[in-house]
Amino acid sequence: MDLTPRHRQPFALPGPWPACAQALLRRGAAWLHTGGTGDGLLGLPDGPILASRWSGEAWTSRLDDRARPGSPWEALESVLPEHPGPWIGAVTFELACDEAALPRQALPPGTLGQHWRGLRQALHLQGGEAELWSWDIPPDPGRWLALLQPEVSRAPAPPALHPRWTETHHRAAVEAIRERILEGGFYVANLCVPFEALFPDDLVALALETFRRARPPFGALLDLGDLRLLCLSMERLLSRRGERIWSQPIKGSAPLTGDPELDRLAAEALAADPKERAEHTMIVDLVRNDLGRVARTGTVTVSQAMTVEPYPTVQHLVSTVEAQVRPDLGLAELLRSVLPGGSVTGAPKHAVCAHLARTEAAPRGFYCGALGWIAPNGDLDLTLPIRTAQIAGEALTYWAGGGITRRSDPGREWAELFLKTRAISG
């Protein structure tokens, strides 16, 4: 994580991490969590907020109480130089579809499409060592000590998730996609289903427990005002450092049991599975095409192809696609080229998104949009918010999905949905 603070100083935590951050998290602090070590960034909830909402006819953006002109991506690009620190936030799947001129489901007026908070100060954790970071005035350790108070909390019961539609409905939806593929309408489509639960318990305690258990490479707990996001993603959507950009699409899944021999055999079977390899190859080609739209000619490469990566409950096939971008490339153009991510749409994007808009049970919201940080110079780290819960009041929604190809088995696709809920349901 390279965010280049203006000031940084070592900081002795007043108690065990992350238990000492619970009170601050309940007050709306932004938390980006990296893997099982507890590394990450905890930002104070006191910076400017850029938000875009759907009016019923168009997206309208405001920086705090001031309207911002242009599309949501243009509004986001325009605020970067106005704040010294990075912006942490998230974007919905539907807003990304609109920016890319792709079909999507209808939205009610007032729907939140993006929410970004500019950081002034943050606590950075790496390898068990803490530092105070600031992008304006030097940080005040005394203030942080007052905000970080150790708390003991019980692990809440995991949400009791229920799919919005039945196995019969899902099988029929899978078959409809397979028929479209056989007719030549598209090659692969990512079909997703919302799971729902009532969760009256402590979301911060749930975040601590799921981060400990799932060890997500791209975890986050964000307060967006209207709702909160608990992200347990393992997929890098897009990163940029100067002229280098890269994406790490995931396609192909197998359970992880904890038995070394069984997991080794499952990994070998996953890497050799014709359906999984075909699905993965099509998505990598789509990502290569997306990056190629903004890359210098001849610089798009697949630097890592179909590596099996294990996570606490599942194994995935992962590739790395990278490129060198044009030096004059702006943020809005970059985001339009990549979002929504190919691994959660399909190929070709327009035809697939049109079908999904008619098929899926509801708008996806922040699931399958983008989440992470963007620095004033345009460097960024964005994850694809899969394995992500959206919580409004006591209503929790957690989507799961999978790529459908002509070789897909409807029963296996239904079972894969439940495998992917294990990150939050235990």
User: What is the Cα–Cα distance from 240 to 198, expressed in whole angstroms?
Assistant: 38
Q: How far is CA 49 from CA 52, 118, 194, 416, in A?
A: 10, 6, 28, 37
Give me 117's structure tokens: 């908070």
User: What is the Cα–Cα distance from 333 to 89, expressed in whole angstroms?
Assistant: 19
User: What is the Cα–Cα distance from 342 to 96, expressed in whole angstroms?
Assistant: 12
> Which residues, 6 or more positions from 319, have their beta carbon under 8 angstroms from its beta carbon?
248, 249, 280, 284, 302, 304, 305, 306, 307
Helix axes 410-425, 167-183, angle to 10 degrees: 120
**Which of 139, 121, 123, 119 minimizes the C-alpha distance to 50?**
119
Interstrand relation of 250-255 and 314-324 (parallel, antiparallel or unpaired): antiparallel
Give me 382's structure tokens: 């964005």
CA 34, distance to chain mean position in Å, is 13
Q: How far is CA 75 from CA 60, 67, 240, 279, 366, in A?
A: 9, 9, 19, 35, 19
> Which residues, 6 or more positions from 255, have their beta carbon under 8 angstroms from its beta carbon?
266, 313, 314, 315, 419
Do 344 and 386 touch, CB atoms closer than 8 A? yes
Do 318 and 303 touch, CB atoms closer than 8 A? no
Give me 130's structure tokens: 């803490």
Specify the DSSP class assigned to residue 158: P
Give me 37's structure tokens: 């070590």
Give strand ranges (E) for 234-270. 236-241, 244-248, 250-255
Dihedral angle at the C-alpha atoms of 410, 168, 340, 347, nearest 10 degrees? 40
Q: Which residues are catalytic?
A: 235, 251
Helix axes 274-292, 260-272, angle to 10 degrees: 60
